[in-house]
Amino acid sequence: MKRFDLNLFFLGKKVSTPVLSTSTVATSRRARSTVTATVSFAILLLCAVSAGAQCSGPGAPTTTQTQCQTAISIPGNPLRSFDISWVDSDRGLYFLGDRSNSGVDIISTKTNKFIGRASGFVGIVLNGAAVNNNLSGPDGVVSRGSCLYAGDGDSTLKVFDISNPKKPVLVNTISTGGTTRLDEMALTDDGEFLIAANNAEDPPFATLFATDEDDDCGFVTKVAKITVDPSIIPAGKGLSIEQPTWVKSTHQFIVSVPVIANNPTDPKGCNFDTGAPPVTCSGAVLLIDPDNLENPITDDFVPLVHCGPNGATVGPHSNVMVGCTPNNQPGDLETTIINAQSFKYVDVGNLTGSDEVWFDSGSGRYYTGSSAMPGGAVLGVVDGETNFLLETIPQSSASHSVAADSRRHKVFVPQVAPKNVVGAGGDVTGPTKDGLGGVGAGICGGTNGCIAVYSVPGTEDDKEEGDHGHHSDHSD
């Protein structure tokens, strides 16, 4: 029986239960004096705007369990465009794909300080006044030990030795053969394989790399180009492959796919052409075993019910949260958690538009970078056992990236600078509409953007598989 048939048997009709069965002279003198006073006042005003109190406003509510603790400023250009983030809890390091500064920012999660940057990426590429996400970089980011892996806008994988995270060293650059960005990626738990998706190619594809689990960062080789049968992902329709995540219990990568053809199966068909909206076809997850590749993928996929996913992260009991978003399928108002073994699923209501998602074993909670919520971007918090939505916290308008340190009970959420600072893509949400920014400026205490640090309840160290997650939005 094909996976498709299995999925329909298990999924059936969409259910509403919240719990899985698995659980930014004088006149002249007077004139000069006036100018000086005016300039001085302007400088003071600017300082007041750009160096205000951190963790204020709607993004720092006092009634939530998840509390804004501080904000980390990033040297260089204001944050206009960033992509995925990642935490290594063992080493106490947070990484952010910072396109605004053409590098991967490295933060100490112990001190909440910027300590270094892995440079050499293409940075922001514009399409008119807007950021061209398909060509900008860095994008997807993961790490293991002293090795940092990041995708760039020119379809290359860049590998850094971060033995000294203050001075990262580029040790390898490998092309995947595409012309657009190398985006989302994931590692196996033993560090033997890395998979990375070229989401903006047409048709999209993924590349499987062999890596050195003993931290020889320069040793990275291409194993295979992974494609999907055109009956599932047809060419010329703007379809993509998004975030992979590794499920140890099934020895498979689960990969989010926003839209596939013929899902749901209906005599009248459904529309999967992103160039002719609205899209009415749902997405799926692909199942990839690096030791037993099916290429092209024909059977190893599980269709989802009214979910166009971006992010993917493994939580308790081999459950996988996928970040459904109305940017992929209009009307998608929920987030789906699916079991990687049974393919049974549950929907988390009132939470949608999630790009990167992350399970934190320290708090036992999922965290979502939900940029497409009806009322504006939020940080979503979901209980990992009950799968109930616990709380949502307002964020800057382009907030779509999130990662957590399970040992230090911290969640890191990048905030974009206001529109009057960075132009298109800047934060225009919040209670103020005066061009100084809203939610993000309150969180950051300034107008250059920042990385917000939230404290969370939790227990020490990892519990089981998970503690990692991801995204990526095809439009972020």
Half-sphere exposure of 143 (CA within 13 A, CB side): 29
> How high is the mean pLDDT of the chain?
86
Question: What would the two tokens of residue 168 be?
Answer: 């990262």
* Whether the predicted pLDDT of 461 surpasses 50: no
Bridge-based pairing state of the strands 220-226 and 244-247: unpaired
User: How is the chain split into domains, by residue range?
Assistant: 3-23+76-427+460-470
Q: What is the DSSP string of 184-253?
A: -EEE-TTSSEEEEEETTSSS-EEEEEEE-TTS-TT-EEEEEEE-B-TTTS-TTS------EEEEGGGTEE
Q: How far is CA 311 from CA 20, 255, 271, 355, in A?
A: 19, 9, 22, 5
Per-residue pLDDT band at 266 (split at 50, 70, 90)? confident
**Tens digit of each residue's pLDDT (9 = 90 or more) over 177-199:** 999 999 999 999 999 999 999 99
Question: CB burial class (10 A; 0-12, 13-18, 19+) of residue 122?
Answer: middle
Q: How far apart are CA 105 and CA 95, in angstroms?
A: 6
Given CATH 3.40.50.300, say whether it is the number of domain 3-23+76-427+460-470: no
Provide the pLDDT for residue 269: 87
Q: How far apart are CA 22 and CA 228, in angstroms?
A: 30
* Whether the predicted pLDDT of 342 surpasses 80: yes
Given CA atoms 450, 454, 460, 464 in this order, what sign does their dihedral have? negative
Beta bridge partners of 469: 358
Provide the pLDDT for residue 438: 80
Using only the alpha carbons of the chain, give its radius of gyration: 22
Question: What percent of the chain shows pLDDT beyond 70?
Answer: 83
Question: What would the two tokens of residue 192 be?
Answer: 């033997």
Per-residue pLDDT band at 344 (split at 50, 70, 90)? very high
